[in-house]
Structure 1
Amino acid sequence: MAALLMVEDDGELAEAYSLALTALGHEVRISGSGEDALDRAANFDVVLLDVMLPGIDGFETCRRLRAGSTVPVILLTARGDPVDVVVGLEGGADDYVVKPVEPRVVDARIKAVLRRTVPRGPGPAVLRVGHLVIDPGAMTVTGDGRELALTATELRLLLEFAAHPGQVLNRQVLLERVWDYGYAGDSRIVDATVARLRAKVERDPANPAVLRTARGLGYRLVLP
C-alpha cells in the first residue's frame, strides 16, 4: 500500500480514481490545487499530479516540488501532446500518464515508481568517476565532497550506468531496467532524465564528461 496525494481539481474524477485506487490497496488523499499540494506532498509516497490546475499549473508545481523534495511525481493529465510530455519530464516528473487511463494502469505505474527507490541488482561497492563518488550500498552520490540530491529515478539510472561502466546502454534497455517496463517504446523519459542527471552530476552539463552520448545508440558512463 502506498500513501498517494492526488492533485486534481475535477472533484468527480478525483473521487472516481480515489475509490478505484483505494480498492487496489492504496491510501488516497485529494488536493485541489498546486499550492495545497506543495504544502502536503512531503507526507506522501507518491504524488499524482494533474497539469491543468487553478493557480499554479502542474508543470510549475512539479518544478517547485523537485527543487526541494525527492517525492516521486506522476503527471496524470489529459494533455498528451509530445511537447507537454517533454516539458513535464524535463520539469522533474518521474512518469507521465495520459488520461483517460484505467486505474490498474495507474496502479502499475505507481508500483514501478516505488520499485525505483531500491536498486535491483548489486553494483560495485564504491565507484569513483572523476569528481564523483557513487556508493550503491549507502545509495548516495557525492560530487567534489558534497552529497548530491538525486531523485529515486535519477539515482537508479546512475546506479545502472555504474553497474556497467564504459558500456553503451540503449534507451530500451534503460526503460526495462530502470523504469521496470517497456514504456511503449517512448524514449523521451530516458533522455529527459539523463538531462536532469547531467545537470546535477556534471561540472559542465553542456559538455558532459561522465555520462556521454553514443550517437544513435544510447549513453555510457565514462571512467577516467
Structure 2
Amino acid sequence: MHRILIVEDDNEIGGWTERFLQQKGYDVEWRTSGDGLVEAAASKSLVLLDVMLPGLDGFTLGQRLKKEHPLLPIMMLSARTAIDDKLQGLQFADDYVTKPFHPDELAARIEVLLRRHEHNEPELISLQHLHIYPHQNRVVDQRTGEDIILTGKQHHIFAYMLRHANQILTKEQLYEGVWGEPYINGDKTLMVHIRYLREKIELDPSRPALIETIRGIGYRVKR
C-alpha cells in the first residue's frame, strides 16, 4: 500500500484530503506543520506539501526534503498562482497544484507521480553476491542462480534498506517504515527479523557484510 504524507495547516483542506485519499485506498498521515518532516517522510511513497505553513514555509521544507530523499515524489499545494511561485516550487518538486483543486484531479496527479517513481526504480540491483529484482520481489544468489526465499516482512525490510542505501537508519525509522506503527522501545521484533534475514542473504551471518550494524543507532546497507 502506498503511504502518503499530507502537510497542510488548513484543517478543512487537510481533513477532506485525508479522508478522500483514504477512500482511494492510500495509507495517509496528515500533519499541520513541517516539524519532523524529513524523518516522517522516510517511510512514505509521496508527500503533499502546502506552501504556506507555520514556521518554515513549504519551499524551504521541500528543498530540505528533496536533499535528504531525492527519489521521494513531492507535490506542492498552494493558493499562489503566480508563475514565479510555480517556477520556484518546480525547481525541486515533481508537481505543483494550485488551490482550489478538484479531488479527482489530485488523485490522478498522485497516480501519475507514483507510477513515474516506480518506473524510475532499477530493474536489477547488484549487491556483492546478490542480484535483486525490485519489481519482481526476487533476490537471487548470483553464484548459483538460485532464488533466496524471503518472507514478506524480510522483503519489506530489505527493500526499505535498499531504497535508503548508504543511509544509517535507526530502529525507529525501520520499524515505522515497514510496520507503519510507532516503535516501542525495547521491542525485539525488528532485531529478530534482521537476524533471520541475515541468515538467508549473508555469506557469513556472524560477520554481516550486507546489513551493517551501526552500534547504538541502527543499521545500514551499503551500495
* Secondary structure of 2:75 counterpart: strand
**Structure 1: segments with no counterpart, 5+ residues:** 121-134, 141-224
Distance 2:3 2:44 in 1: 5
- 1:78 is aligned to 79
CA offset at residue 103 of structure 1? Answer: 1.3
**CA pair 49-137 structure 1, distance change in 2 beyond 3 A:** same
SS of 2:25 mapped into structure 1: coil
Q: Matches of residues 8-87 of structure 1 in structure 2 within 5 Å? A: 8-69=8-69, 70-87=71-88
Change (3 A) 1:119 1:30: closer
TM-score normalised by structure 1 residue count: 0.52
CA distance in 2, matches of 1:18, 1:111: 16
TM-score by length of 2: 0.52
- 4+ residue runs over 3 A deviation: 135-140
Does structure 2 retain, via aligned residues, the 8 Å contact 1:35–1:61? no
TM-superposition CA deviations, 1:112-142 (whole Å, max 9, x none): 001112449xxxxxxxxxxxxxx964489xx
RMSD: 2.1
Structure 2 unmatched runs, 5+: 127-223
Are 2:73 and 2:117, in contact at CA under 8 Å, matched by a contact in 1?
A: no
* Matched residue count: 125
Cα shift at 1:13: 1.5
Larger radius of gyration: 2
- Counterparts of 1:136 and 1:4, CA distance in 2: 22
Q: Contact between 2:7 and 2:49, CA under 8 Å: does it hold in 1? A: yes
Equivalent position of 2:93 in the other structure: 93
The one-letter code sitting in structure 1 at the alignment partner of 2:25 is G
